[in-house]
Amino acid sequence: MAYTLSATLEGHDQDVRNLIAIDASTFASCSRDGSVRTWMQDNINGASSNEWKSLLVHHTTAFINSLCFLDGILYCGGTEVIIQGFPYLSSQEENNNEPLFSLIGHSKNVCALSSYSSDDGDDYIISGSWDQTAIVWQNGEPLYRLVGHEASVWDAKFINKHKFITCSADKTVKIWENDKCVSTFTHLHTDVIRSIDVLGDHFITSSNDGTIKYCDFDGKILKEFLGHESFVYQAIFAQDKKIISCGEDRSIRIWDLETGNILQVITVPSISVWSVVQLNNGDIVAGSSDHLIRVFTQEKSRFASDLELEKFRSSVENSAINSKTLGIDETKLSPYEVLQFPGKKEGQVVAVKTPTGAIEAHQYSSGVWGKIGDVVGSSGNESKVEFEGQTYDYVFDVDVEEGKPPLKLPCNANDNPYDVAEQFLAKYDLPASFKDQVVRFIIKNTGGVDLSTKENKVKVSNILPSKENFLSLDNFNVDKLYSGICKLNSNEENNFEEPTLNELRIALENPATNVDFLWTNAAIIRANWKQKVPAYDILRIIVPYLPSPDNLTEFITEGLTSESLVVKMLTVRSLVNIFQNSDWGLELMSSPSIYESIFSVIDSEYSENFRQKPQMAIAISSLVYNYTVLILRENKYELIPTIADVLNNKYGSSHLVLDSEEASYRLLIAFGNLATIEHSLLQYYSSISWIKDVKARYGTEKRFSYVFDDLSSM
């Protein structure tokens, strides 16, 4: 019998990242909202129902990403890096949010937990972390630290109490005996390996490459499971020789372990299904990015009501699905009548044009066709999404760092994906190495043209002018910044007391609502500490939210003239971010006393010993770029002489900028912006020496060639 929705459980406020089964009627969940909950099924006349109640066991301000259960204790791990254990039936009020156990050993986000009870009475836990290690714990104490992976350890499981298996973002699986690595398998997947599960003498893995592998402990691939259309976040062994998996393609899939066939595909109205577990009664529980937990059952007595089933079906049917994601050619649609006949296989997806002209995606599951969404093509999305005061075809959540909120990526279906990617990386101050990955994501999810393939290559025009958004450099790691403040605080005579440090940590989680507190303490650090870097790091984070620029000039002046090059760099970043302040930012930066003075003191060359030269180059080029956007958007033509001068005669010709591909690109776009209104620049651009240098060094890069093509065609 097919699985059917039993219950939809609300309780978390953010993504449900992990689940752990406890018994036939109990499981636990954890979320990015910082909470751990135990869920218990109500029993009616001795029989389980589809009604559930939850107990808030623990809550914190950090993200919780992993769970395991052992002897009545729920262990949770996340960005706090300490693994904590709470009685699974104790509420937060009862346990006072104080753990019975605290396992200290990791230095970064704990993303995996698993438990093992041995015959000798000892209890074991294994944890995986973004610090690239796994730790085996015996009775709450570290027994082995497993060192050898070259990236985050995404999952870790017991084979027995002396033997363990781990998988990693380095695309490998390792088997360990005690603390020694005895096997490393590099051939299983072509991308990050997200999960691993063990049954007897075999294991299964799931990966960002969209596949699941069933292997023996010699690393021999016995079976490959193909069907997911995106990242597979988890795959587990299930009852009756089955496998259950979930991933980024909105689906939960049940597979036959022996044949490799898909038995059922359950599509949910959520982009990501992060975790699945199977209860002892056979029910499947899934946690998703829409904050919800869904329970599916084969038992009719536990089916959801007809009203709930219809609500679930409707939410799935009304989802928007991109044609590129499903590989749908809108010129080769199946006839609508195909839905009257059986599908070829479980999970088959067809796109049909309805009698009304709409294009719908239907999936064949459990012997029937069911609509799973409306197909959105590359021509755009009729349902616009508002973001930061503008409307877009799409606004995606993009996970860049585990344990941190997803970043917003807005775009329109007909946008140049390279241009959108560049703006996204610039906005969040992300490395240029992310570019190709972001471009692939955009192309896949918007139906855009893949500019990297010869057969799809098109001439993308109108990159210039680029004036939609000001760049910002406000991305930061809360834990890293707080750790740096604490370290420096211990060496300062006028240091902060522990309560103030704790308040700082909390305030940094939400700078917009704690701007006054952060500003006050940044000013204290600037005035009283010998090491002033934290003051300017806080400043560049909060300037978009400051209610007024009072006392800011003194702060900026001291930063730009500081002997510390790091302070100078952070001050330039602060200037970049002032453009984000909608109350007074543009007015302040338009003042001649500001823009003439800052460019007179910001140098164009720095010592080779300055390790942050690339960051300084990007900060300076971002500042110049923002001024060109200001000129175009606010018609501030009086700024053109100053900005054109520093662009062409100071920073454009500097090795600081030329040695940075990203900085060179931003400065080239800035030049192009000015060239759209200052025709003398356009007339002589091909003979300007710094532009020739940029073209010689980076001209073969696609994003540069598009800008040069635009300049030539103006």
Same domain? For 111 and 186 the reply is yes
- pLDDT tens for each residue of 648-674: 889 998 999 999 998 999 999 999 999
Residues 423 and 474 in one domain: no
Range picked from 41-50, 150-159, 497-506 for highest mean pLDDT: 150-159
Residue 37 covered by a domain: yes
Task: Indicate the helix (H) or strand (E) that contains 21.
Answer: strand 16-23
535 within domain boundaries: yes
If asked whether residues 195 and 228 sit together in one domain, one would say yes
Please tell me whether residues 543 and 579 are part of one structural domain: yes
CA distance 707 to 551: 40
Q: Check pLDDT > 60 for residue 289.
A: yes
**How many structural domains is the chain composed of?**
5
**How many CB atoms are closer than 10 A to CB 103?**
21
- Confidence band (pLDDT; 50, 70, 90) for 435? low
Confidence bin at 708 (pLDDT 50/70/90): confident
CA distance 121 to 135: 20
Scanning the structure block, which residue is given the tokens 């590359």?
378
User: What integer pLDDT is reported at residue 19 of this predicted model?
Assistant: 98
Strands lying side by side in the sheet with 153-160: 153-160, 163-168, 173-177, 180-185
Closest CA to 12 of 40, 39, 32, 41: 32
Together in a domain, 274 and 399:
no
pLDDT greater than 90 at residue 316: no
Cα 34 to the chain's mean position, in Å?
17
Whether residues 396 and 366 fall in one domain: no
Peptide bond into 465 cis (omega under 30): yes
In a domain, 311, yes or no: no
Cα–Cα distance, 216 to 201 (Å, whole number): 6
* Pick from 89-98, 297-306, 454-463, 483-492: least confident: 454-463
* Residue 504 and residue 394 share a domain: no
Sequential DSSP letters for 623-679: HHHHHHHHHHHHT-GGGHHHHHHHIIIIITT-HHHHT-HHHHHHHHHHHHHHHTT-H
Residue 161, amino acid: K
330-349: per-residue pLDDT in tens? Answer: 656 777 778 888 888 887 88
Distance from C-alpha of 150 to C-alpha of 65, rounded to nearest angstrom? 21
Q: Counting beta carbons within 10 angstroms of the beta carbon of residue 311, is it exposed (0 to 12), middle (13 to 18) or buried (19 or more)?
A: middle
Contact 351, 376 (CB under 8 A): no
Q: Are residues 393 and 371 in the same domain?
A: no
459 within some domain: no
Rounded to 10°, the helix 478-489/498-509 angle is 160
Report the 3 state secondary structure along 537-565. Answer: HHHHHHHHHCCCCCCHHHHHHHHHCCCCH
47's tokens: 């029989």
DSSP state at residue 66: E
pLDDT digits (tens, 9 = 90+) for 243-259: 999 998 889 999 999 99
What's the pLDDT at 456? 33
Statement to judge: residues 626 and 666 lie in one domain: yes
More confident residue, 18 or 414: 18
Whether residue 3 contacts residue 10, with contact meaning beta carbons closer than 8 Å, is answered with no
Domain housing 372: 320-376
CA distance 283 to 422: 45
The predicted pLDDT at position 705 comes to 86
Please give the angle made by the CA atoms of 666, 405 and 248, to the nearest 5 degrees. Answer: 95
Together in a domain, 82 and 119: yes
Q: Could you tell me which of 672, 673, 663 has the C-alpha nearest to residue 697?
A: 663
More confident of the two residues 700 and 246: 246
Confidence band of 238 (pLDDT split at 50, 70, 90): very high
End-to-end Cα spacing for the chain: 65
Q: Under a CB-based contact definition with an 8 Å cutoff, are residues 418 and 434 in contact? A: no
Is 274 found in the same domain as 155?
Answer: yes
**What is the spatial distance between Cα 234 and Cα 273, in angstroms, rounded to a whole number?**
9
pTM of the model: 0.56
Structure confidence by residue, pLDDT tens digits, 102-134: 999 998 889 999 999 887 788 999 999 988 999
**Sign of the alpha-carbon dihedral angle for 300, 305, 310, 315:** negative
Q: Which of 579, 509, 504, 578 is nearest to 535 (CA)?
A: 504
Nearest CA-CA partner of 130 in 157, 150, 101, 100? 150
Q: Which CATH number does the domain housing residue 15 bear?
A: 2.130.10.10
Please write the tens of the pLDDT for every residue from 159-212: 999 999 999 989 999 999 999 999 999 999 998 899 999 999 999 999 988 999
CATH number where 699 lies: 1.25.10.10
Report the percentage of the chain scoring pLDDT > 70. Answer: 89
Residue 598 located in a structural domain: no
Q: State residue 382's pLDDT score.
A: 46
Residue 216's nearest CA partner among 183, 179, 180, 253 is: 183
Mean pLDDT across the chain, nearest whole number? 86
Asked if residue 309 belongs to a domain, the reply is no
Strands (E), 401-493: 407-411
Q: What is the pLDDT of residues 443-499, one digit of tens each?
A: 666 654 333 333 333 333 357 888 878 999 888 888 888 888 998 988 888 888 888
Residue 663 lies in a domain: yes
Q: What is the CATH number of the domain that holds 436?
A: 3.10.20.870
Instruction: Of 465, 469, 525, give the one whose Cα is nearest residue 495.
Output: 525
Q: Is pLDDT of 693 > 80?
A: yes
What pLDDT, on the 0 to 100 scale, is given for residue 444? 60
- Band of residue 607 on the pLDDT scale cut at 50, 70, 90: confident
Query: Does residue 597 fall inside a structural domain?
Result: no
Q: Are residues 516 and 613 in the same domain?
A: no
User: CB of 298 within 8 A of CB of 1?
Assistant: yes
